[in-house]
Structure 1
Amino acid sequence: MPEMIFRVRWPDGQESDCYSPSLVIQDHFTPGQNYPVSLFLEKAQTALNEASERVRARYGFPCSRALGQLQAIEQSCAPFLDRADAQVSVLSFKS
Protein backbone atom coordinates (compact mmCIF):
# COMPACT_ATOMS: atom_id res chain seq x y z
CA MET A 1 0.00 0.00 0.00
CA PRO A 2 1.27 3.48 -0.76
CA GLU A 3 2.01 5.45 2.37
CA MET A 4 1.56 9.18 2.75
CA ILE A 5 2.99 11.82 5.04
CA PHE A 6 0.90 14.93 5.54
CA ARG A 7 2.48 17.97 7.15
CA VAL A 8 0.34 20.12 9.42
CA ARG A 9 0.71 23.36 11.34
CA TRP A 10 -1.01 23.44 14.72
CA PRO A 11 -2.69 26.54 16.13
CA ASP A 12 0.41 27.30 18.24
CA GLY A 13 2.61 27.44 15.11
CA GLN A 14 4.30 24.09 15.65
CA GLU A 15 4.55 21.88 12.57
CA SER A 16 4.61 18.10 12.41
CA ASP A 17 4.53 15.26 9.93
CA CYS A 18 1.62 12.84 10.23
CA TYR A 19 1.49 9.32 8.82
CA SER A 20 -1.17 7.51 6.83
CA PRO A 21 -0.73 3.98 5.49
CA SER A 22 -2.93 4.89 2.53
CA LEU A 23 -3.45 7.74 0.08
CA VAL A 24 -7.03 7.99 1.40
CA ILE A 25 -5.91 11.06 3.34
CA GLN A 26 -6.16 12.97 0.04
CA ASP A 27 -9.92 12.32 0.04
CA HIS A 28 -10.31 14.16 3.35
CA PHE A 29 -7.78 17.02 3.33
CA THR A 30 -6.51 19.58 0.85
CA PRO A 31 -2.98 21.01 1.04
CA GLY A 32 -3.03 24.74 1.77
CA GLN A 33 -6.41 24.48 3.50
CA ASN A 34 -7.08 25.57 7.10
CA TYR A 35 -9.55 23.60 9.23
CA PRO A 36 -11.13 24.46 12.58
CA VAL A 37 -9.54 22.11 15.12
CA SER A 38 -12.75 20.14 15.73
CA LEU A 39 -13.29 19.62 11.98
CA PHE A 40 -9.65 18.65 11.46
CA LEU A 41 -9.94 16.11 14.26
CA GLU A 42 -13.19 14.68 12.84
CA LYS A 43 -11.66 14.37 9.37
CA ALA A 44 -8.47 12.80 10.76
CA GLN A 45 -10.50 10.24 12.71
CA THR A 46 -12.47 9.30 9.61
CA ALA A 47 -9.43 9.20 7.29
CA LEU A 48 -7.07 7.29 9.56
CA ASN A 49 -9.70 4.77 10.61
CA GLU A 50 -10.51 4.24 6.93
CA ALA A 51 -6.82 3.82 6.15
CA SER A 52 -6.42 1.34 9.00
CA GLU A 53 -9.41 -0.64 7.71
CA ARG A 54 -7.84 -0.78 4.25
CA VAL A 55 -4.80 -2.37 5.87
CA ARG A 56 -7.09 -4.82 7.70
CA ALA A 57 -8.82 -5.76 4.44
CA ARG A 58 -5.51 -6.41 2.75
CA TYR A 59 -3.42 -7.98 5.53
CA GLY A 60 -5.97 -9.19 8.09
CA PHE A 61 -5.10 -6.75 10.89
CA PRO A 62 -5.55 -3.00 11.47
CA CYS A 63 -2.67 -0.58 11.08
CA SER A 64 -1.33 0.15 14.55
CA ARG A 65 0.82 2.97 13.20
CA ALA A 66 -2.24 4.78 11.77
CA LEU A 67 -4.12 4.30 15.03
CA GLY A 68 -1.08 5.59 16.95
CA GLN A 69 -0.95 8.62 14.65
CA LEU A 70 -4.62 9.24 15.37
CA GLN A 71 -3.92 9.17 19.12
CA ALA A 72 -1.12 11.70 18.64
CA ILE A 73 -3.43 13.96 16.62
CA GLU A 74 -6.12 13.71 19.30
CA GLN A 75 -3.57 14.74 21.94
CA SER A 76 -2.30 17.63 19.81
CA CYS A 77 -5.84 18.91 19.18
CA ALA A 78 -7.04 18.63 22.80
CA PRO A 79 -5.61 21.93 24.11
CA PHE A 80 -7.29 23.87 21.28
CA LEU A 81 -10.75 22.30 21.15
CA ASP A 82 -12.31 25.02 23.29
CA ARG A 83 -10.92 27.82 21.09
CA ALA A 84 -13.37 28.63 18.30
CA ASP A 85 -10.72 30.55 16.35
CA ALA A 86 -8.07 27.79 16.45
CA GLN A 87 -7.16 26.33 13.04
CA VAL A 88 -4.99 23.49 11.81
CA SER A 89 -3.32 24.02 8.44
CA VAL A 90 -2.63 21.09 6.15
CA LEU A 91 0.60 22.19 4.50
CA SER A 92 1.55 19.38 2.14
CA PHE A 93 1.35 15.73 1.16
CA LYS A 94 4.35 13.53 0.44
CA SER A 95 4.00 9.95 -0.78
Structure 2
Amino acid sequence: MPEIYFRVRWPDGETQRCYSPSTVVEDYFTAGSAYDLADFVDRSRTALGIAGERVREKFGFHCTGASDQLARIERTASAYASLPGAKVTVEALVNADGSAR
Protein backbone atom coordinates (compact mmCIF):
# COMPACT_ATOMS: atom_id res chain seq x y z
CA MET A 1 0.00 0.00 0.00
CA PRO A 2 1.28 3.50 -0.69
CA GLU A 3 2.25 5.05 2.64
CA ILE A 4 1.99 8.77 3.09
CA TYR A 5 3.07 11.18 5.79
CA PHE A 6 1.47 14.49 6.67
CA ARG A 7 3.36 17.11 8.61
CA VAL A 8 1.22 19.24 10.91
CA ARG A 9 1.88 22.38 12.90
CA TRP A 10 0.01 22.60 16.19
CA PRO A 11 -1.31 25.89 17.66
CA ASP A 12 1.90 26.47 19.65
CA GLY A 13 4.10 26.07 16.56
CA GLU A 14 5.29 22.54 17.34
CA THR A 15 5.35 20.23 14.34
CA GLN A 16 4.54 16.55 14.15
CA ARG A 17 5.13 14.03 11.37
CA CYS A 18 2.04 11.85 11.05
CA TYR A 19 1.75 8.49 9.29
CA SER A 20 -0.96 6.95 7.15
CA PRO A 21 -0.77 3.57 5.45
CA SER A 22 -2.93 4.93 2.64
CA THR A 23 -3.14 8.03 0.47
CA VAL A 24 -6.77 8.49 1.55
CA VAL A 25 -5.57 11.35 3.78
CA GLU A 26 -5.25 13.40 0.59
CA ASP A 27 -9.05 13.34 0.43
CA TYR A 28 -9.24 14.96 3.86
CA PHE A 29 -6.26 17.32 4.06
CA THR A 30 -4.68 19.87 1.77
CA ALA A 31 -1.08 20.95 2.23
CA GLY A 32 -0.92 24.53 3.47
CA SER A 33 -4.45 24.51 4.88
CA ALA A 34 -5.35 25.32 8.48
CA TYR A 35 -8.17 23.44 10.22
CA ASP A 36 -10.03 24.15 13.42
CA LEU A 37 -8.70 21.77 16.07
CA ALA A 38 -11.90 19.72 16.36
CA ASP A 39 -12.25 19.53 12.58
CA PHE A 40 -8.65 18.35 12.24
CA VAL A 41 -9.21 15.59 14.82
CA ASP A 42 -12.48 14.53 13.14
CA ARG A 43 -10.83 14.43 9.71
CA SER A 44 -7.94 12.44 11.17
CA ARG A 45 -10.34 9.91 12.73
CA THR A 46 -12.14 9.44 9.45
CA ALA A 47 -9.07 9.30 7.20
CA LEU A 48 -7.02 7.03 9.45
CA GLY A 49 -10.04 4.80 10.07
CA ILE A 50 -10.48 4.34 6.34
CA ALA A 51 -6.74 3.82 5.88
CA GLY A 52 -6.70 1.11 8.56
CA GLU A 53 -9.67 -0.62 6.95
CA ARG A 54 -7.98 -0.55 3.55
CA VAL A 55 -5.06 -2.43 5.07
CA ARG A 56 -7.48 -4.94 6.61
CA GLU A 57 -9.20 -5.48 3.28
CA LYS A 58 -5.89 -6.07 1.50
CA PHE A 59 -3.93 -7.98 4.16
CA GLY A 60 -6.56 -9.36 6.52
CA PHE A 61 -5.64 -7.29 9.59
CA HIS A 62 -6.22 -3.72 10.73
CA CYS A 63 -3.22 -1.40 10.60
CA THR A 64 -2.01 -0.65 14.12
CA GLY A 65 0.15 2.15 12.69
CA ALA A 66 -3.00 4.04 11.71
CA SER A 67 -4.59 3.43 15.11
CA ASP A 68 -1.45 4.45 16.96
CA GLN A 69 -1.13 7.63 14.89
CA LEU A 70 -4.73 8.57 15.63
CA ALA A 71 -4.12 8.04 19.36
CA ARG A 72 -1.08 10.36 19.20
CA ILE A 73 -3.11 13.01 17.35
CA GLU A 74 -5.94 12.81 19.87
CA ARG A 75 -3.50 12.99 22.80
CA THR A 76 -1.70 16.01 21.36
CA ALA A 77 -4.96 17.75 20.42
CA SER A 78 -6.29 17.39 23.96
CA ALA A 79 -3.54 19.74 25.16
CA TYR A 80 -4.96 22.53 22.98
CA ALA A 81 -8.66 21.89 23.57
CA SER A 82 -9.03 24.87 25.92
CA LEU A 83 -7.51 27.34 23.43
CA PRO A 84 -10.28 29.31 21.70
CA GLY A 85 -9.91 29.29 17.93
CA ALA A 86 -7.06 26.75 17.98
CA LYS A 87 -5.96 25.76 14.48
CA VAL A 88 -3.82 22.96 13.11
CA THR A 89 -2.01 23.53 9.83
CA VAL A 90 -1.19 20.67 7.50
CA GLU A 91 2.17 21.87 6.23
CA ALA A 92 2.89 19.07 3.77
CA LEU A 93 1.84 15.71 2.39
CA VAL A 94 4.85 13.59 1.49
CA ASN A 95 5.61 10.15 0.13
CA ALA A 96 7.41 7.58 2.24
CA ASP A 97 10.66 8.51 0.46
CA GLY A 98 10.24 12.15 1.56
CA SER A 99 9.26 13.55 -1.84
CA ALA A 100 6.38 16.00 -1.98
CA ARG A 101 2.98 14.88 -3.22
Superposition TM-score tier, normalisation by shorter sequence: over 0.9
Give the conservation status (yes or no) of the 8 Å contact 1:8–1:91: yes
The offset of 1:84, in angstroms, is 2.7
Aligned residue-pair number: 95
Q: Could you tell me which residue of structure 1 aligns to residue 74 of structure 2?
A: 74
Tell me the SS of whatever aligns to 1:89: strand
Paired with 1:84 and 1:52, the residues of 2 have a C-alpha distance of 31
Paired with 1:92 and 1:49, the residues of 2 have a C-alpha distance of 20
Q: Which has the higher helix share?
A: 1
Identity %: 44
Paired with 1:89 and 1:32, the residues of 2 have a C-alpha distance of 7
The offset of 1:24, in angstroms, is 0.3
**Which portions of structure 1, spanning 4 or more consecutive aligned residues, are displaced by more than 2 angstroms?**
none
Paired with 1:20 and 1:69, the residues of 2 have a C-alpha distance of 8
The unaligned stretches of length 5 or more in structure 1 are: none
TM-score (norm 2): 0.92
Give the conservation status (yes or no) of the 8 Å contact 1:4–1:21: yes
CA deviations 1:7-38 (Å, max 9, x no partner) are 00001110010000000000000000000100
TM-score (norm 1): 0.97
Q: Could you tell me which residue of structure 1 aligns to residue 62 of structure 2?
A: 62
Q: Could you tell me which residue of structure 2 aligns to residue 88 of structure 1?
A: 88
Q: Could you tell me which residue of structure 1 aligns to residue 26 of structure 2?
A: 26
Q: What letter matches 2:52 in structure 1?
A: S
User: Which range moved further: 41-50 or 83-92?
Assistant: 83-92
Q: Could you tell me which residue of structure 2 aligns to residue 17 of structure 1?
A: 17
**Structure 1 segment 46-61 matched on structure 2, within 5 A:** 46-61=46-61
User: Which range moved further: 59-68 or 78-87?
Assistant: 78-87
The unaligned stretches of length 5 or more in structure 2 are: 96-101
Q: Could you tell me which residue of structure 1 aligns to residue 2 of structure 2?
A: 2
